[in-house]
Every structure is written in structure tokens, then in C-alpha cells.
């Protein structure tokens, strides 16, 4: 019984693209590999990664080309160590290496805000808050969240499915929203890496494919970030904003992932008490 030959020109899978992007990122010196001969790229060669991970080049090639499914945890851990991946990247690698059965992209039903989450949103009062869907559709916001992030849009837009704003589209395609972020490049990179993390869990969702396609077509910047394959699960941090009404703000954000909500999460913004940013947030909510 003959095995299927390896095809050097076979299409590289999502897993393969991610592994290649991580190989390109780490140098032989960083990985502890002695480098010999002329190198076309600064990163690791496939055979060097295979050696570090303790697998054959043939197996690694098959893994990248989708010809070897469901890699063991020990192999994932070995690749994680060899590529020096962080926790988010390891989780993403695990999701890619253990894919759900291949299906044609399915059209998902429009998301509906979880009633309890929307109620909590409006009970937060002066705290700007937004309810996001799994692919960053804005399902609801309170008054402060609307005024802080997109006061130029109709406040009722999230309730109308056909007009519902999407946080990523605003970030890359809306001039007003781009101007809001002082560190736009950092914000954009973080948003795309977060979508990459989610994408591995909803790979067969047509809504995701349509969103990525639209953004890639209309924003070269998004396309470049997406091709970088960086992944990160956003949970908290700080942002510097340039608001058209209240000026400069330094805000802290927290992402509250809702249990059993299929990816829905609440994004909140606060500022340290007795600061100018705190006063500005109160002013926006009033």
C-alpha cells in the first residue's frame, strides 16, 4: 500500500501559514540553532524546526499541508517550545491543529444581544460600555459608550441588523473612528490579532469570511496585519484617545467574556478617579 507523496507545491493550510509565520519570526540564534550556509530568510528553516521539536521533516510538512490531522498534545507542546510561543499563540496552534470536520462555510443567523447583558450595559450608568458579537459587531451600547466611541453614528444603529456597526470596520474604514485613537497602529494590530484568535474557533462561518474579505479588499493595512498571523486574546489594557468633544483621554478597558454567549462580550472603559479623563467620561455620559 503506497502512501501519498509529499507535494512541495501543495497549498499551505491555515496551520501551515501560522507555523511558517512563527518560523520567520524567530532567528536561529534565538532558537539556539547553529546556522550553516547561505540563508534566504532570517528565520528558521523547516528542517531546523523539525529538529528542535523532535519530529521528522516529513511529518512537519504533512502537518503544514493538512495531510496529518489531530497532532498530539506532546507535538503541539514541542512546537510551542521550539517556536517560543506565548499562551495565546499556543491556544491558537492547538485550535488549528485540532480542526472541526471540514464543512462548507455556513451562513450564520444574525446575532442577537443577550438580554441580560444588554440590561447590565444600561445599568452601568456613567461607565462607557459596548456589547460585542463574536466578530466584533456592535450589538448594543449604552449612552456613554456610544458618545465615547462613535458619537457621529445614530445611537439606535446597533438595534438595526442591516445598519449595525462593526468595530473592525469602524477602525479601518471610518475616518472619524481612525482619528479617535492616538496609537492607531497599535490598536489596529491588536484588533486583528484578536480576530485571528477567534477565527480558529469559527472557521466555517460565512460571516467571518465575508468580513475578512471586505476588509482585505478595502484596507491594505488590514490585509497586511491579517497576513502577519499574529494572535492575541484581548482582556484588558489602556488606550489613549483623541475625542472630538472632550479632547485627550487616557482610559483603561476590560473585556468581560460572557459564559454560554457564543463569543459575546462586554467592553468597558474607565479612568482613574479624580483625573481629567475621569471628568471627561462623566461629561460624555451626562
* pLDDT tens per residue across span 204-219: 788 888 999 999 999 9
Q: Report pLDDT for 2.
A: 38
The helices-and-strands tally (H runs, E runs) of the chain is 14, 5
Q: Report pLDDT for 207.
A: 87
Q: Report pLDDT for 11.
A: 52
CATH architecture of 115-285: 2-Layer Sandwich (3.30)
> Strands 236-243, 247-257: parallel, antiparallel or unpaired by DSSP?
antiparallel
In sequence order, the 6+-apart residues with CB closer than 8 A to the CB of 130 are: 121, 138, 140, 141, 145, 149, 167, 266, 267
Question: What is the end-to-end Cα distance of the chain in Å, rounded?
Answer: 75
Low-confidence ranges of the chain (pLDDT < 70): 1-12, 36-37, 69, 99-108, 261
Q: Report pLDDT for 5.
A: 42
CATH architecture of 14-97: Orthogonal Bundle (1.10)
* pLDDT tens per residue across span 102-124: 555 455 677 888 889 999 999 99
Q: Report pLDDT for 107.
A: 55
266 touches 130 (CB < 8 A):
yes
The residues spanned by each domain of the chain are: 14-97, 115-285
pTM above 0.85, yes or no: no
In sequence order, the 6+-apart residues with CB closer than 8 A to the CB of 187 are: 171, 181, 239
Please tell me the distance from the alpha carbon of residue 100 to that of residue 197, in angstroms, as a whole number: 15
Amino acid at each position: 500500500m503506497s502512501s501519498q507523496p509529499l507535494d512541495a507545491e501543495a497549498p499551505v493550510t491555515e496551520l501551515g501559514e501560522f507555523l511558517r509565520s512563527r518560523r520567520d519570526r524567530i532567528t536561529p540564534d534565538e532558537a539556539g540553532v547553529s546556522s550553516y550556509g547561505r540563508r534566504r530568510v532570517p528565520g528558521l528553516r523547516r528542517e531546523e524546526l523539525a529538529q528542535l521539536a523532535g519530529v521528522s521533516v516529513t511529518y512537519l510538512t504533512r502537518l503544514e499541508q493538512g495531510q496529518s490531522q489531530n497532532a498530539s498534545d506532546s507535538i503541539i507542546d514541542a512546537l510551542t517550545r521550539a517556536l517560543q510561543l506565548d499562551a495565546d499563540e499556543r491556544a491558537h496552534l492547538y485550535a488549528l491543529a485540532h480542526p472541526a470536520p471540514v464543512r462548507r462555510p455556513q451562513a450564520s443567523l444574525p446575532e442577537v444581544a443577550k438580554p441580560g447583558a444588554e440590561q447590565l450595559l444600561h445599568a452601568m450608568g456613567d461607565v462607557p460600555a459596548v456589547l460585542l458579537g463574536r466578530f466584533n459587531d456592535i450589538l448594543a451600547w449604552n449612552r456613554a459608550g456610544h458618545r465615547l466611541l462613535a458619537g457621529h453614528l445614530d445611537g439606535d444603529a446597533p438595534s438595526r441588523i442591516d445598519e449595525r456597526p462593526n468595530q473592525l470596520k469602524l477602525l479601518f474604514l471610518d475616518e472619524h473612528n481612525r482619528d479617535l485613537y492616538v496609537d492607531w497602529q497599535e490598536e489596529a494590530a491588536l484588533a486583528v490579532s484578536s480576530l485571528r484568535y477567534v477565527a480558529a474557533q469559527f472557521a466555517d462561518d460565512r460571516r467571518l469570511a465575508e468580513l475578512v474579505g471586505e476588509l482585505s479588499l478595502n484596507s491594505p493595512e488590514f490585509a497586511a496585519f491579517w497576513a502577519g498571523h499574529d494572535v492575541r486574546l484581548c482582556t484588558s489594557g489602556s488606550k489613549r484617545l483623541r475625542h472630538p468633544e472632550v479632547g485627550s483621554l487616557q482610559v483603561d478597558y476590560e473585556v468581560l467574556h460572557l459564559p454560554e454567549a457564543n463569543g459575546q462580550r462586554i467592553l468597558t472603559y474607565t479612568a482613574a478617579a479624580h483625573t481629567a479623563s475621569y471628568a471627561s467620561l462623566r461629561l460624555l455620559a451626562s
